[in-house]
Amino acid sequence: MAGLDKVVTSYEQALAGLADGMTIIAGGFGLCGIPEGLIAQIKKMGTRHLTVVSNNCGVDGFGLGILLENRQIKKMISSYVGENELFERQLLSGELEVELTPQGTLAEKIRAGGAGIPAFFTATGYGTPIGEGKEVREFHGRHYILEESITGDFAIVKGWKADHYGNVIYRHTARNFNPLAATAGKITVVEVEEIVEPGELDLDNIHTPGIYVDRVIQGTFEKRIERRTVRPQEV
Amino acid sequence: MLTREQIAMRVAREMRDGFYVNLGIGIPTLVANYIPKGMQVMLQSENGLLGMGPFPTEEEVDPDMINAGKQTVTAISGASIFDSAQSFAMIRGGHVDLTVLGAFEVDVMGNIASWMVPGKLVKGMGGAMDLVAGAENIVVTMTHASKTGESKLLPQCALPLTGAGCIKKVVTDLAYVEIRDGKFWLIERAPGVSVDEIVKLTAGEMVVPEVVPEMTF
C-alpha cells in the first residue's frame, strides 16, 4: 500500500490489527449487502469478545451467524435479530448481550458517529423501554430522548465497485447501512465485487468518498437470498 | 367480520393520490394490492427503497433488491434508492404521508404496543419505533380481540410500548375506530357486526355515535 492506494490483496492484510474486545460496525440488511469474505476472515482469525454493530445478525450458518456459531461475539447492537436460532440460545444462556436499538436510531447513531457528532435528540423511543434512563428534552412542545452516537475500531463494508482511491459505489438495496458504516470505523475496510480504474466511477455519483476508506479488497460473493418471493411469469 | 384482505381494502381507502406510503409486515403488506385505480402512490421500504414494485418474476430475482421484510422485490419506474440514514430521515422527518402497521395493543391515549411480549423472546423493534414516532398519519391493523376474546383496544396498554400518543386510526376485523380526546370513537363497523358486539370487545372507553355505518366492499 502506498499513498492513496487503498487496495489490499489478501484478507489477512484487510483485517490486520483486528483484536479481541474490539467493536466492529458491519454494513448489510439481513443478508443483503454483507461483506462475506471479511466475515469469513474474522471467523478464521478467531478474534473474540467482539461487539458487533449491525442491523441484523445473519442467519444460522451464514453472514454474521458464523461468528455467533464460533462464539466470537460478546455483544450485538441491532434492531432486529429474529432470524437466528443460535442467537436465541446464546441470548437466553447469557453468553451473548444484545442492545436492541430502533433501526432509524441505529442508522443515525452510526451516521453521527462518522460525522463527529457525539449524540442527538430523537422522538423515537420516547415513552418506551428504549427511552428509560435517557435524558429527555422538550423542543417545540414535543419530547425527545438523547441518543449517543457509535464509532467502531473497524467498519466492514460491502460495496459494488471501488477504485484504488477507495471511492465506492453500492448497488440497489445492498447499500443500506454500508455507506454509514464506512464513515464510522477507525479502520474502514470495504469488500467489493469489482475494483475499477481511477476515473471509471462518475465523480458526481460516488456514494462513499475515499477519505473514509482505509482498505479495499476484491471479493467473491454468494449473495444468499433470505426470502425468495416471486410472482408468476406473465403470459 | 373482516377478512385480512378486507382489512387491507379498508385501509387502502385512506390513500390519496400522490401519497408516499410505508407498509409494515403482515396485513399492511396486502394494502399494496388495493391501491385505488388511477391513483399514483409510492411505497417506501425502510431498508432504502422508495418506489417498491411487485415481487420479481423468477428471471428478475436480484439478491441486491429486497424490501424491509427481506423479500425479493422490484422497483417501479421513478423509484430511488438510498442508505438507511436517509431512509429514516424521510420517516422521522415526517415526509411519509401514510404508515400502516400491525400491533398487539392500542389504548385510548393513542399508545401502541407491537414489539415485545415480556417472557417471550424479544426479536427487536426494527423500524417500528421510528415509524410511529415520525408519521403524522398512521393506521394500525389488528384483530379487535384475542382468540380467547380479550380486547386489544385498552384503557392502557399492558405491554411495553412501541410509541406513546401517536395512534389515531385503527382498522380491526370488526370496526374502523379513531382515537382522540382520550377515547375510542367508533366510526364504521364491519358488515354484519353489531355495535354491541364491538363495544363488548372494546375494553377502553368508546364513544358510539347514533349512526355507525356499515362498511361496504
**Per-residue pLDDT tens digits for A112-137:** 999 999 999 999 999 999 999 999 99
- Give residue B70's identity as a one-letter amino acid code: K
Contact list in B for residue A234 (CB cut-off 8 A) is 57
Concatenated DSSP letters of B54-87:
PPPPGGG--TT-B-TTSBB--EEEEEEE--HHHH
Using an 8 Å CB-CB cutoff, list chain B residues near A155.
none
pLDDT value at A1 more than 60:
no
How far B22 CA lies from chain A's nearest CA (Å)?
A: 14
Taking contacts as CB-CB distances below 8 angstroms, the residues of chain B near A177 are: 83-84
Chain A residues within 8 A of B55 when measuring between CB atoms = 229-231
Rounded mean pLDDT, A203-219 = 98
In 3D space, the residue among B163, B102, B106, B103 whose CA is nearest the CA of residue B130 turns out to be: B163
Q: Do B61 and A78 touch (CB under 8 A)?
A: no
Taking CA–CA distances from A76, the nearest residue in chain B reads: B124
Q: Which residues pair with A52 in a beta bridge?
A: A24, A76
Question: Taking chain B, what is the end-to-end CA distance rounded to the nearest angstrom?
Answer: 12
B150-167, pLDDT tens digit by residue? 999 999 999 999 999 999
Given an 8 Å threshold on Cβ–Cβ distance, is B84 in contact with A232?
Answer: no
Rounded to whole angstroms, what are the CA distances from A63 to A30, A43, A104?
Answer: 8, 11, 22
Name residues whose C-beta falls within 8 Å of residue A120's C-beta, 6 or more positions apart in sequence. A108, A112, A146, A147, A149
Main-chain dihedrals φ then ψ at residue B133, nearest 5 degrees? -75, -30
Give rounded-to-5 percent helix, strand, coil for chain B. 20, 30, 50
And the C-alpha cell for A79?
434492531
**Angle at which helices B84-92 and A103-114 pack, to 10 degrees?**
120
Query: Can you list the domains of chain B with their CATH numbers?
Result: 4-207 (3.40.1080.10)
A229/B73 CB distance under 8 A: yes
Query: Are A223 and B63 in contact (CB < 8 Å)?
Result: yes
User: pTM above 0.95?
Assistant: yes
pLDDT digits (tens, 9 = 90+) for A147-183: 999 999 999 999 999 999 999 999 999 999 999 999 9
Q: What is the count of residue pairs from A and B with beta carbons less than 8 Å apart?
A: 172
**Residue A215 grid cell:** 482498505
Residue of chain B minimizing CA distance to A99: B124
pLDDT surpasses 80 at A222: yes
| CB-count burial class (<10 Å; 0-12, 13-18, 19+) for A85 | exposed
* Average pLDDT value for residue range A74-81: 95
